[in-house]
Amino acid sequence: MLLWADIVISDSISMMKTTASPIGASAIDGANRSYNRFLLLVAGLGGLLYGVDVGIIGGALPYLEATSRLNAGQLSIIVAAVLLGSVISTLFAGLLADWMGRKPLMVLSGLTFVLSIPMIALAHGYGPLFFGRLLQGISGGLIGVVVPLYLAECLSASHRGKGTGVFQWLLTLGIVSAAVIGIYYSYRVEAVARSADAAAVFTFKDQAWRRIFWVSLPPGVLFVLGSLFVAESPRWLFLRGKQDRALASLLRSRSPQQAEIELKEMDQIAVAANAGPGRAVKDSLLRRKYVIPFLLACVILFCNTATGINSIIGYNTSILLQSGLSDLHAHWGYVVFTFVNFLMTIGGMSLVDRKGRKFLFILGTSGIVISLVFVGLLFLSTEKMNRDCQGAVQAMVEPDQTLTLPFHPAEAKQLLSAAGYQGTEIESDRASLAVIYSYGDFTAATSFVRSDDPSAAPIRITRESAVPANKVEAFFKNPFGNLDAARTAPLRIERAVVGRVPNASHGWLVAIGLYLFMSSFAIGPGVCVWLALSELMPTRIRSNGMSIALVINQMVSTTLAGIFLPFVSKYGYSSIFFLFAGFTVIYLTVVTFFLPETKGKTLEEIEQYFETGGKKAEPVR
């Protein structure tokens, strides 16, 4: 039976063939290339916004903390509000993409980001800051789903890898930009501090964090404008019964012959699922072509975050400080780290459509395992010398069950002596301290402080820093904890770890290991994971499946970010790096033995692969 879609295509293609001259064909190819470049530009701006969402708070937070008069709990919520907004919007992004279309959702996500910037930059108080950051997170969650989804459905098989690579590439540029802006303002603040009084420094810091947010506004405006001029996804249009518009959308980025083939493939998939164009699909979601790729995408997204990428980016400066670098070198080390990410993503973009997704996944995860083990061994070589000074620190607890502990060389020497340490490996003028403590059932940990940092604030432990403010927060921190008892329980020092701060050469070795980690991630999983997410999902479940998989990804990211500092305070940096390496071994195993190569295949061919259990499907005629 000849379907209406075939008639539309055949008539359109016949007219093109009979009327097109070689010059006309060349003009069509040129228009296709120009439109594909425009699509890549718009997608890249979406990636840039996503990267800014991730990185912008890092540069602004020190000045926000110094001038906003918010307490530690409020600042933590301001930082976490982006993640909260992202989780909320990711849950509904798939439903919204199906209901309103891919293009309108891209416009909405950009407008949400644009609205968030003045709300934050003009804020005076906790409420506007929170809602502004929440809007930023909502925008990021929508962008993270809809842009890769849109690219997968709009670009041809030969350009799909490059398109998603551009999204990841400019995402890394957003993180680089945030790091560079942050270090620029750190130099500016230092210069003002040398030549002005305290009031002038306070005013400049207040202006600094606002300017950092204002700088991120122009890319948001450009993304909104670009999204207004792209075509709707042809596959979304086809599923809504708009075959003529689907064909027109395909012809903007493909040759007439390729457009004919892909529209016929869409029609065959619809017929195989007992549905015509624009009619509801009746087949079961439990079929292998839905379940297997969905589970595979979820596992890949879980393992991708479990490599520790977000934690290593977020805590990079702290890691480098603890490895032995000075404060300035650690900040510059982070800038180099973001540039490595940016440059190696270019390499991944150039290889993804030539070497294939699976090759880059295996190459990248192998490098990640090697680099994580290397960095873990470097930290283990110094952490095995650590000494627990719990008893001495417990004796310093005040009667009101608080503790204020300045950590300088004399204090370090006293703590080591009280712990009976007689060795020479830990020098009191170059030592670090982290304290793990609890009030009743609720445990917390301080960050590491160094005795060679004269500007470091004393360690301050109060009940508010460990005990949740309400029962909802208490449930998420410890569902079995007794909140009422913790509000009156005494302060107990669980561990007080004094360790050796390595020399600068050790710190640069750690930095090199982290650069190898970032290079491996950027060239492999960094580029390919967005492709895996959008390519593996069949059309019927793509939008909602991507939302669920990304929520899993963000939950893992949230968990790892939440446990990172307490974990390293208690068990050391070496343990967290070995944990990340273990997850990456699972990642390597999955992509090696279970992930099919999708290079050069249309989305319908990939769907047919899972339907047939890996057997080659009949070509579309």
| DSSP assignments along 538-553, one per residue | -TTTHHHHHHHHHHHH
What pLDDT sits at residue 27? Answer: 56
Q: What is the percent of the chain with per-residue pLDDT over 70, rounded to a whole number? A: 81
Name the residue among 361, 268, 162 with its Cα closest to residue 620.
268
Q: Please tell me what DSSP assigns to residue 499.
A: E
- Cβ neighbours for 593, distance < 8 A, ≥ 6 positions apart: none
On the question of pLDDT at 497 being above 90, the answer is no
Residue with more model confidence, 255 or 286: 255
Query: 433 near 384, Cβ under 8 Å?
Result: no
What pLDDT sits at residue 621? Answer: 46
Q: How far apart are the first and last CA of the chain?
A: 14
Please report which confidence band the pLDDT of residue 7 belongs to, taking 50, 70 and 90 as the band edges. Answer: very low
Least confident of 274-283, 445-454, 584-593: 274-283
Render pLDDT for 268-282 as a digit per residue (tens, 0 to 9). 766 665 544 545 444
Cα gap 172→595, rounded to integer Å? 25
Q: Please tell me what DSSP assigns to residue 465.
A: G
Rounded-to-5 percentages of helix, strand, coil across the chain: 75, 5, 20
Please report which confidence band the pLDDT of residue 375 belongs to, taking 50, 70 and 90 as the band edges. Answer: very high
Render pLDDT for 37-50 as a digit per residue (tens, 0 to 9). 888 788 778 888 77
Integer CA distances (angstroms), 481 to 14, 175, 621, in order: 72, 38, 64
Output the DSSP codes for 185-248.
HHHHHHHHHHHS-HHHHHHHHHHHHHHHHHHTHHHHHHHHHHHHTSPPPHHHHHHTT-HHHHHH
Instruction: Write phi, then psi, for 253 (nearest 5 degrees).
Output: -125, 0
Query: 70 near 126, Cβ under 8 Å?
Result: yes
Global pTM? 0.69
Cα gap 328→190, rounded to integer Å? 12
Query: Which segment, 46-60, 489-503, 564-578, is predicted with the most confidence on average?
Result: 489-503
Cα gap 227→46, rounded to integer Å? 9
**How large is the average pLDDT for residues 562-579?**
81
Q: Which domains does the chain have, with CATH numbers?
A: 1-264 (1.20.1250.20), 284-621 (1.20.1250.20)
Query: Which segment, 384-398, 473-487, 528-542, is predicted with the most confidence on average?
Result: 384-398
Q: How far does CA 39 lie from the centroid of its chain?
A: 22
**How large is the average pLDDT for residues 300-319?**
83
CA angle 304, 307, 311 (to 5 degrees): 105
